[in-house]
Amino acid sequence: MDRPSPGAAREMADALAAWFEANARPLPWRRSYRPYEVWVSEIMLQQTQMERGVEAFTRWMERFPDPEALARAGEDEVLKMWEGLGYYNRARNLHRAAGMVVERHGGEVPADPAALRALPGVGPYTAAAVASIAHGRDVPLVDANVGRLFSRLFDIDQPLHLSATKRALDGLAADLLPPGRARMHNQALMELGALVCTPKSPRCSACPLDTRCRAKYLDLVFERPVPAKAAEYIPMDVASGLLIHDGGILVQKRPPAGVWAGLWEFPGGAVEEGETPDQAVVREFLEETELEVAVAAPLPRVRHGYTRYRVTLHPFLLTLAGRPRQPALHAAQESRWAGAEELAGLAFPAGHRKLLDKLAASGRLDRLLAGGAIEEEPS
């Protein structure tokens, strides 16, 4: 891999700047480049598609327009506002970091990359993005889009996740960075990767750097980046129950640490070897809440994925089999009997929210809470 000469780097930076000026998307955090807005956008766009990120960003800014507003909010509200984006630790870290920004920096998001990295949830990339895009600091950055772009421009023949490759990418980003132009230059690189140098259908004819692209010259565009070993996904069956009593459904709040910390859920858990989902939900209810329940009817199954797991959620409508009593909290920090309006205001993991949305969209949630019956639907 040959690194660009200073002259070549300047020409590439100029071509990128002209392309970005003509093709930059009108994203809401680009209107004023407020450091808080840039920071929130960078956290939201981790593991999130742009369209969904823009929608969530707009909603978030209406409720939490500055670090002070976010720091004052309760965790339940923060998690609810984050619902649909997944990876809820991002929201928790953002909430904690907002408090630190208020306490340590007078409510102003710092410009120094080291100070930014001291905030929860801010790693090297996010610190570089906020420092360069929001504050104009001459700090290079490499995200997934830039890594893919560089792998083709400079014909990098090693997987991008390797430490040596990451160091090479950082060096290339530093070589190409034009002094005093980091804000637009870094965005141009990321935008070019997102819109033109895409993973499966790169539009080389629209690229301002196509004449300098080694992979195009060598006919290796579709061979770069070199793929890493494919991830192995683990199937998992989970049973959960909607226990209705006096017009409410039992929900419980997960512990403050661990998977889906602080989110609300319907009690349940993994289906163990040798048992059926309906047997699992009865067992889980007894273990978690000490309530004896019986299965009244199956509800439509829900499939979703997180990290390395591919989950099939088997939900059931339940009735009390024993005497009514206060649910125990063996797997939760709080529980309540929630009606439809309250359920809509709580933050749930993706699978449970999908189930609620499915039932609410058809009107069956209201019928269930009113004591009506439900028929099983095809999954």
- The per-residue pLDDT for range 290-308, each reduced to its tens digit, is 999 999 999 999 998 877 8
Convert the pLDDT of each residue in 204-215 to its tens digit.
999 999 999 999
**Which residue positions in the chain have pLDDT lower than 70?**
372-379
Residues in CB range of 142: below 8 A, 6 or more apart = 125, 150, 166, 169, 170, 173
CA 113, CA 77: separation in Å to the nearest integer? 29
What pLDDT, on the 0 to 100 scale, is given for residue 378?
A: 45
What pLDDT, on the 0 to 100 scale, is given for residue 230?
A: 76
Q: Are 173 and 141 in contact (CB under 8 A)?
A: yes
182-195 helix and 144-153 helix, angle to the nearest 10 degrees: 80
Whether 341 sits among the annotated catalytic residues: the reply is no
Catalytic residue among 42, 265, 284, 288: 42
What pLDDT, on the 0 to 100 scale, is given for residue 228?
A: 86
What pLDDT, on the 0 to 100 scale, is given for residue 379?
A: 46
Within 131-231, strands assigned E span none
Helix, coil or strand: residue 320: strand
Buried-exposed string 95-110: b where 16+ CB fall within 10 A, e elsewhere:
bbbbbbbbeeeeeebb
DSSP bridge pairs for 336: 251
